[in-house]
Chains A and B, each alone.
Chain A
Amino acid sequence: MAEPLPRRGPGPALAFVVLGTLLLLAGSILGLAVAPPENFMGDVQRIMYVHVPTAWNAMLAFTFAFGCALLFLFQGGWKWDCRLEAAVEVGVFLAVLLCAQGAIWAKPTWGVWWDWDPRLTTTAVMVFLFTGILALRHFVDDPLKRATWSAVATIIAFVDVPIVYFSVRWWNSLHQLQSSPSTVSSVFHLPLRLNAFGVLFLMIGFITLRTRTAGLRLQGELAPPLPEPAAAPGLVPTRAGA
């Protein structure tokens, strides 16, 4: 397989991070200070301005990881393994953030930290699913096995996500009406869009940076590439005695 040399420096990735942060700042200021409070839920609903973008991008990260897994298994190439590692890590981070946001919303609204909302519960399961994959990567030393196995595990985990969602939704539907902070009833879509792109750019930046790190580490693990074969080795005559 081709060597995982990172071709560009961290420049473009950092640009994404900066741009993303700026967008996120703008969107958050608009969402927190400028937009009117929501009709029923009041100020608490403002969390939607970060919750929805985080949700979209977490799913995007995991979908990208799924794509990388497929590409690695069927096309090959270490770069897909590096991207997979980065995407899963960023995805897990976003998913944990999502669960935290959900809890922050649930406590003032329902009085409990967790309300078994299907989307949020599925997110929690996803956190464990993909953290397991990160753990798998940690405990396998051989780079090729590690890459192949995490690709396989990612595919299985990703396929499982919709099943988990449907089963939790059904399981919970007998107890509660669906409730989450993600219903966008406010007229102000601008902060939402700004934040969505903000988080997106941040995510792209972080994934790119992390891919680079993974590539560098992989280079350190793999044996250096051999020089192209020289002329065929000639016969070495035996010598009598030492």
Chain B
Amino acid sequence: MRELAAALHKEALLQWRTRVQLAAIFVFGASALLLFSFAIGPNSAALRLHAAGFLWLALLLSSTLSLAESFQSEMEQRAFEGLLLLPASPLALFYGKALSNWLQLVLLGVGLVPVMVVLYDAGTLRLPGLLGVIVLGAAGLAAPGTLYAAMTAQARAKQTLLPLLLFPLVVPVLLAAVKATSLLILGDPMEQARSWALLLVAFDAIHWSLCGLLFGRVVED
């Protein structure tokens, strides 16, 4: 636990020092949302219908940038290895990094919501619900994303490899999050959003444990 606190302290420092990058990634996500609207055309009804999908696609694309960046600073001077040798437990380091990535993705998601509302006329009054979906969906991206980012940071062709590995894996997250968000925006007569949220919870629970367990093998020789 102490090590987790130390890891979180490190992440907080790093996040604060590199906050400009987060802003840049947000701009990327917002421009993605804009580009998606061009793909559909100025058809307000269609845009509103698909708004949830585009929001999550934009977040998914942004996540590859933010996840890759999260390990950039760790690997460039072998700082991560330096911590492992102190010794620091890989579990603490993983969860610290995953939590930090989670927060980043939640911030990105929350930041993109107003962009979506404006561009797609897709607002909702059920804001706590929307926040909940973003939190759960971001968690689904963060855990496996952190594991794969650690892997690909040490491999060749890192920019290609991370999305290649991550995207198929998080299909359930995409499906569930888009569905839930869509229901929140367009109306949910049968109260189905909760069931989709439960699917997200299940996915998150499985992957947060599995990826944590396997992380040690990925970063140690």
Contacts and interface: CB of A to CB of B under 8 A. Distances in A.
B141 to A, nearest CB: 13
B172 A149 contact: no
Given A128-B167, A157-B169, A152 B199 contact: no
Contacts of B164: 128, 131-132, 135
A128 B171 CA distance: 11
Contacts of A144: 221
Nearest to A128: B168
B12 interface: no
A167 B156 contact: no
A140 interface: yes
B214 A152 contact: yes
Interface string A133-172: 1011001110011001101110111011001101110110
Contacts, number: 79
B78 interface: no
A73 B151 CA distance: 16
B209 to A, nearest CB: 10
Contact of B155 (A133, A140, A163): A140
A129 interface: yes
Interface string B150-188: 010011110011001101110110011001000000000
Given A156-B144, A159-B206, A164-B172, A171 B214 contact: no
Given A132-B164, A159-B206, A149 B171 contact: no
Please classify the interface of chain A as helix (H, G, I), strand (E, B), loop, or mixed, using the class held by over half of its residues: helix
A159 B171 CA distance: 13
B217 A152 contact: yes
B5 interface: no
A59 interface: no
Contacts of B161: 132, 135-136, 139
Among B154, B172, B202, B218, max chain A CB count under 10 A is at B172
Interface in A164-210: 164, 166-168, 170-171
B98 interface: no
Nearest to A127: B168
A132 B148 CA distance: 11
B7 interface: no
B175 A129 contact: no
A129 B156 contact: no
B210 interface: yes
Contacts of A44: none
Contact of A125 (B165, B168, B221): B168
Contacts of A164: 171-172
Given A139-B156, A170-B199, A155 B165 contact: no
10 contacts: A128-B167, A132-B164, A139-B157, A149-B151, A157-B168, A163-B172, A164-B172, A167-B172, A167-B199, A171-B179
Interface of A: 73, 125-126, 128-129, 131-133, 135-136, 139-141, 144-145, 148-149, 151-153, 155-157, 159-160, 163-164, 166-168, 170-171
Given A153-B148, A163-B172, 12 more contacts: A128-B167, A128-B168, A131-B164, A132-B161, A132-B168, A135-B160, A139-B155, A139-B161, A149-B151, A151-B217, A152-B217, A160-B169
